[in-house]
Amino acid sequence: MTRHAIRNVMALTSSHIQRFLLGKLHSRFSSNHRNPFAAVTCTSRCYSAIAIDAPSSLAEAPGVRWGSIALQGLREEMEDDIIVRPDGLHGFSFAAVFDGHGGFSSVEFLSANYRDELYKECLEALQGGLVLVEKDFKATKEALEQAFAKADAKLEMKGEEDESGATATAVFVGDDTLLVSHIGDSSVVLSRAGKAEMLTSPHRPYGRNKASLQEIKRIREAGGWIVNGRICGDIAVSRAFGDLRYKTKKNEYTPNLFIIATSTNSSMLFIFS
């Protein structure tokens, strides 16, 4: 898994946006862990137009347009994938980015082009979207934790010798509400009133910020260790699907959930892996 370049980019936009922009973000992070509605804010931005010769798509549904682009780079196989489901959740659109490592089989099991297990579990746990409509944070959190747990359990039940894993960053976009359910180190950025807001913090076993220190503490308490920023010297993310040899508290699948109130000045959403 190479982190030197963006491989998957997905952008969801309002009808007011006429072009996609790729942002290079220089961040100063601030967060309020007592408030589940809090977002992490990016304080400065430098934009340039996307110009990448790679497979891409552009489509739309009532109230939302989206585009995606995927670039394999120098790896032997493409380990990432994208889901977009514009309807089916009582007025909420669903989109997700999977970032694989150690092979493609975990992403293959979870993503839309294959088994689509994560979306199926989210659809069931959220009662077809009714839980989202009620805007009950506790019920939504419990439902999505259940969905992620079931998807990981099904992946484990494949019974194959598999060393692959996959992060997952899923968003649910409503008329005035945005939900982000997130494991791993992909990024979600919201453009609102001309400013970029980073909505996710990476799950990594290194760093000195509060989130990273909590991950390191959890891994060590589970009997793991950190070598060169990797769990047991191997994987560089501390939450993911798969990674069966580390499926204790060393590497887990419990997502962080953020709910953000949106309005007409919320114009564009990016999901990067």
Q: Which residue has the higher pLDDT, 187 or 107?
A: 187
Query: Mind listing the pLDDT tens digit for each residue in 12-25?
Result: 544 333 233 333 33
- How many structural domains comprise the chain? 1
Residue 76 lies in a domain: yes
Q: Which residue carries 């077809």 as its tokens?
A: 128
The DSSP 8-state label assigned to residue 58 in this structure reads E
**Mean pLDDT value across residues 103-116:** 68
Residue 219 lies in a domain: no
Q: Answer left, alpha or beta for residue 116, where phi above 0 means left and psi between -120 and 50 means alpha.
A: left
Specify whether the CB–CB gap between 78 and 72 falls below 8 A. Answer: yes
How far is residue 98's CA from residue 101's CA, in Å, rounded to a whole number? 10
Q: What CATH number is associated with residue 42?
A: 3.60.40.10
| Residue 14 pLDDT | 41
* Structural domain of 153: 8-203+252-272
**Mean pLDDT value across residues 170-177:** 88
Residue 24 lies in a domain: yes
Residue 14 lies in a domain: yes
Residue 208 lies in a domain: no
Residue 226 lies in a domain: no
Residues forming a β-bridge with 134: none
Residue 88 lies in a domain: yes
How far is residue 165's CA from residue 117's CA, in Å, rounded to a whole number? 14
And the tokens for 156?
């484990």
Return mean pLDDT, the chain. Answer: 74
Residues forming a β-bridge with 65: 13, 60
Q: State yes or no: pLDDT of 125 exceeds 90.
A: yes
Query: Mind listing the pLDDT tens digit for each residue in 63-103?
Result: 677 777 777 766 677 777 888 888 778 888 888 888 877 77
Residue 233 lies in a domain: no
| Residue 155 pLDDT | 80
How far is residue 7's CA from residue 81's CA, in Å, rounded to a whole number? 10
Under the banding of pLDDT at 50, 70 and 90, the label for residue 7 is very low
Q: Which residue carries 């980019």 as its tokens?
A: 9
Residue 142, C-beta contacts closer than 8 angstroms, at least 6 positions apart: none
**Mean pLDDT value across residues 259-268:** 78
On whether the pTM is more than 0.95, the answer is: no
Q: Edge to edge, what strands does the sheet with 195-198 contain?
A: 40-41, 195-198, 187-192, 266-272, 8-13, 64-70, 56-61
Q: Percent of the chain, pLDDT > 70? A: 69
Under the banding of pLDDT at 50, 70 and 90, the label for residue 27 is very low
Q: Which residue has the higher pLDDT, 250 or 16?
A: 250
